[in-house]
Chains A and B, each alone.
Chain A
Amino acid sequence: MNMIQAEKLIFEYEKRDEEGNVVGTSRAIDEVDIDVKEGQFIAVLGHNGSGKSTLAKHINAILVPTEGTVRVDGRDTKKPEELWNVRQSAGMVFQNPDNQIIGTVVEEDVGFGPENLGVPTDEIWQRVEESLKAVGMISYRHHSPNKLSGGQKQRVAIAGVVAMEPKCIVLDEPTAMLDPAGRKEVLRTVQKLREKKNVTVILITHYMEEVIDADKIYVMDHGRVVMEGTPREIFSRVDELKGYRLDVPQVTLLADELRKRGVDIPAGILRKEELVRHLCQLG
């Protein structure tokens, strides 16, 4: 079953002059085909302005295609009558936790989503409790969100999305503003959600290390998907990635450097355990 399916997706922004007249269009997404199966972990990489976030906004119908179609859980995002169903199927988490938290108490913030969906009160509280447990923040339920660390705030934002029980969560650079521990917390939380609830995850990030466990990576450039494959396939093409302003995990970079210096190890090493094993076999 396809969770997300984009076919020949095109999105054009209208450029306007100072009076608001349309003076032209610029194509942010250019004939993108994507299919994501239920329960998959998909990563989207690409430089600033490559179209990643524009693509993400199509998944919960913040934007709708200029041409082509996007289906979320089988629903066409272009149909106005499907809007709420689409938004319920796909939840979004953004970069800056401070822009996403509205409640003055953690549990109220998490309850905001389901309340808007018209969920009965008893069930709201049940969902709030369950989601806060899922992200490991239940002991902070009565705290004020502004006293939390960045990673904790981001986990509360994720809980707020989880409480709406979406089948799919799109995270748009959720770790960009966090310290190393905060980054780890968020990624571990996402991992746990996949295991426990079989949630489909789409992760957009500039940190290459975060996507080595993905089922599939899409690389975007100028609104197009230019590379598609498993992490091992993608990260073995170091020079090509650098051409798209991207990078590879530091372990992959080290392995690549050693290969260039004549050490006999395979391309596309992703984890430090792998590299350690290969090196120890040489020694």
Chain B
Amino acid sequence: MSIRLEHLNYIYSSGTSYEKHALKDINLTILHGEFVGIIGHTGSGKSTLIQHLNGLIRAGSGKLYYNDKNIYEDGYNMKELRNQVGLVFQYPEHQLFEVDVITDVCFGPKNQGLSPEECRERALEALKLVGLKEKYYEVSPFELSGGQKRRAAIAGVLAMRPKVLVLDEPTAGLDPKGRDDILEQIAYLHKQTDMTVILVSHSMEDIARFADRIIVMNHGEVMYNDEPKKVFAHYRELEKVGLAAPQVTYMMHDLRERGFAVDTEATTVEEAADEIMRVLETKR
């Protein structure tokens, strides 16, 4: 089970003066059950890339295999692909529209052709997964807070029981607690259900905390594709392309420059604390 991209190219407004080569010769493999982070500056091709994953955008050239089947082949069942690869767009709460939360979450499974009972069952399951309290199920989605709306919208995608969950900046505009809650819930889902998670984010700290692997996009190309420690070791190169390393990584580099013999690999607060403690203890 995997997603595999081979020599994928995409050009916006091809043949016009607005032509933009948004994806250039992309080669990637995402395995079943991975938690992959995608980072890149505004306009680097992140969102274009993920819209290929469930066939919303069709590549100009190249191949995209989902479970070893090329989705661009004639007769490929796109509808089934979209059932399996769930996409949560930026600001997904803008897409809420139903009279109450549970009806809104039922919309996906309803379109999958499930019976009203099954839809409701799926919706209840999804709402529980995102941690939205039962008292909100019958409430208009527009009466919820920003964080709650976001959860309801994510539940709408989860109710379709995707095998792969793709999220485009799911925490933008949320307060720190809302940010942590949603990401921790996604990490929990990933552990519990063995779902593949692909997370696009501008927060290097969040990506460092949750992703097993990071794909760095730059001007439509894959710049790095490696585990967080190795990617963030290139912090100077990342800065040149509008990105950065997590703040603690900078701290570790500063410490080392000042002769405090820490390893500079840490990308999370816990790792940094562990490493600093290790050095302090050897000095005692």
User: Measuring CB to CB, which residues of chain A are less than 8 angstroms from any residue of chain B?
Assistant: 46-50, 95, 149-151, 173, 176-183, 206, 208-209, 242, 245-247, 249-251, 253-254, 257-258, 261, 263, 272-273, 275-276, 279-280, 282-283
Q: Mark B266-277, 1 if CB is under 8 A from A, else 0.
A: 000110110011
CA of A282 to CA of B146, assembled, Å: 44
Contacts of A151 in B (CB 8 A): 42
Known A-B contacts A149-B41, A179-B242, A275-B251; A173 and B173 likewise in contact (beta carbons under 8 Å):
yes
Judge whether B251 and A251 touch: CB under 8 Å.
yes
Judge whether B258 and A179 touch: CB under 8 Å.
no
CA of A179 to CA of B280, assembled, Å: 35
User: Measuring CB to CB, which residues of chain B are less than 8 angstroms from any residue of chain A?
Assistant: 40-43, 145-147, 172-180, 202, 204-205, 239, 242-244, 246-248, 250-251, 254-255, 258-260, 269-270, 272-273, 276-277, 279-280, 283
Most buried by B among A49, A95, A263: A49
CA of A49 to CA of B178, assembled, Å: 11
Contacts of A95 in B (CB 8 A): 173
Judge whether B42 and A178 touch: CB under 8 Å.
yes
What's the count of A-B pairs with C-beta under 8 Å? 120
CA of A149 to CA of B241, assembled, Å: 12
25 contacts between A and B (CB under 8 A): A46-B175, A47-B177, A48-B146, A48-B178, A49-B145, A173-B173, A177-B172, A178-B42, A179-B202, A182-B42, A206-B175, A206-B176, A245-B178, A247-B176, A251-B251, A257-B270, A257-B273, A261-B277, A272-B251, A272-B254, A276-B251, A279-B260, A279-B280, A280-B258, A283-B280
Judge whether B42 and A176 touch: CB under 8 Å.
no
Most buried by A among B42, B146, B239, B246: B42
Contacts of B42 in A (CB 8 A): 149-151, 178-179, 182
Judge whether A246 and B246 touch: CB under 8 Å.
no
Judge whether A179 and B243 touch: CB under 8 Å.
yes
Judge whether A180 and B178 touch: CB under 8 Å.
no
**A50, chain B: closest CB distance, angstroms:** 8
**A209, chain B: closest CB distance, angstroms:** 7
Per CB-CB distance, the 5 closest pairs between chain A and chain B, nearest first, are A245-B177, A181-B242, A247-B176, A48-B146, A47-B175
CA of A257 to CA of B246, assembled, Å: 17
Contacts of B248 in A (CB 8 A): 250-251, 254
Most buried by B among A150, A275, A279: A279
Known A-B contacts A149-B41, A250-B205, A253-B269; A176 and B277 likewise in contact (beta carbons under 8 Å):
no
**B13, chain A: closest CB distance, angstroms:** 12
